[in-house]
Amino acid sequence: MKKTVSIMLALLILISFQGCGSDSGTGGKKAKLIKVGFCQTGAESVWRVANTDSMRKALSEKNGYELIFDDGRQQQENQIRAIRNFIQQKVDYIVLAPLVETGWDSVLEEASRAGIPVIIVDRMVKVSDKELYTAYVGSNFLEEGQTAVRWLEAVLKRYGRDTKPVRIVNIQGTIGSSAQIGRSAALDEALRNHSNWELVARESGDFIKPKAYEVMCDILAKTRDIDVVYCENDSEAFGAIKALEEAGLKCGVNGGVIVISFDATTEGLAECLSGRISLDVECNPLQGPYVADIIQKLSRKERVDRISYLEETWFDCFTITKEIIERRAY
């Protein structure tokens, strides 16, 4: 009798342990997780942190993924090493947010030889063979820059400054990144079209607040005759504004230095409401759900769009409200 009770008890324990490991609705079998290696550029900006969060949420274990995250710490060689590790770990998919556009051919060929699809996010890569990546989801940076330039043209006109000299400082992003290339190219195009616009200084702030502060201080040591500061992201705008104000200059569209920025993070829009940032062009970091959708389609052997640009808008000091900022997801 004693023996029968112990056998029954052992059986019960075994059954309950099996239950712990099972996924509900999978008939006691644990569903296989999709293994994804995600290589991020770093954590240089508020935008970047929101981008990482979005990926982590969309590619969570709860959603059926095993995510291997790698922080490239702003170095392309770290990113290349991470991709090689992902290949060794036999991931199902590689997601890459490339720091810069060039220099990816060899490592992407290695991924291709290993049969691992690569999804490029945020910034683009320039490769000799387009088949080296399966899909891209991110921003049209040239269009973002053109939006900024069109806004500036309209505002200068509104204030009767469209024929007067306009002295512009450009704090660029990480040189060679798509975000820098597109946004700088839009400004270059506008400089060619407006003989009264003058580029008085152009330096890289690397998308980082302290670096932008530093370069803006150096520029201000040479000249204070500045009408517009075209920063290529919010973090740079925060650094530039700090330097401008410390130098005794006012930031604002009416009689001050017009600060243009990109990203439209909550913090950026708060500066828009304060009037320090005149225009903030949106760059959408919430790319995780799009990547998950691409992976799901690829797993079902469905066709995916090679290039998907996210819809983006812009906000300026004339129309921004507290309510818009409160509704902001990042």
Question: Using CB under 6 A as the criterion, which residues of the chain lie in contact with ligand AHR when the complex forms?
Answer: 44-45, 47-48, 122-123, 179, 207, 233, 262-263, 283
According to DSSP, residue 32 is labeled P
To the nearest whole angstrom, how small is the minimum distance from the Cβ of residue 145 to ligand AHR? 11
- Which is nearer to ligand AHR, 123 or 242 (by Cβ)? 123
- Which is nearer to ligand AHR, 208 or 219 (by Cβ)? 208
To the nearest whole angstrom, how small is the minimum distance from the Cβ of residue 103 to ligand AHR? 17
- Which is nearer to ligand AHR, 87 or 149 (by Cβ)? 149
- Six token digits for residue 127: 């490769």
To the nearest whole angstrom, how small is the minimum distance from the Cβ of residue 119 to ligand AHR? 16
∠ CA 238-244-250, nearest 5°, is 105
- Which is nearer to ligand AHR, 179 or 212 (by Cβ)? 179
To the nearest whole angstrom, how small is the minimum distance from the Cβ of residue 66 to ligand AHR? 26
CA dist., res. 72 & res. 88, Å (int) = 18
- Which is nearer to ligand AHR, 134 or 174 (by Cβ)? 174
To the nearest whole angstrom, how small is the minimum distance from the Cβ of residue 178 to ligand AHR? 7
Of 239, 227, 170, the closest CA to residue 204 belongs to: 170
According to DSSP, residue 146 is labeled H
Three-state SS for 161? Answer: coil
**Residue 144, Cα to own-chain centre: how many angstroms?**
13
To the nearest whole angstrom, how small is the minimum distance from the Cβ of residue 262 to ligand AHR? 5
At residue 303, φ and ψ (nearest 5 deg) are: -75, 145
CA dist., res. 171 & res. 217, Å (int) = 12
- Which is nearer to ligand AHR, 238 or 262 (by Cβ)? 262
CA dist., res. 43 & res. 46, Å (int) = 8
- Which is nearer to ligand AHR, 120 or 156 (by Cβ)? 120
For residue 210, what are the CA distances in angstroms to 198, 213, 237, 304? 26, 5, 10, 40
Positive or negative torsion for Cα 81, 86, 90, 94? negative
Cα pseudo-dihedral 18, 22, 27, 33, rounded to 10 = -140
Cα pseudo-dihedral 15, 17, 23, 24, rounded to 10 = 50
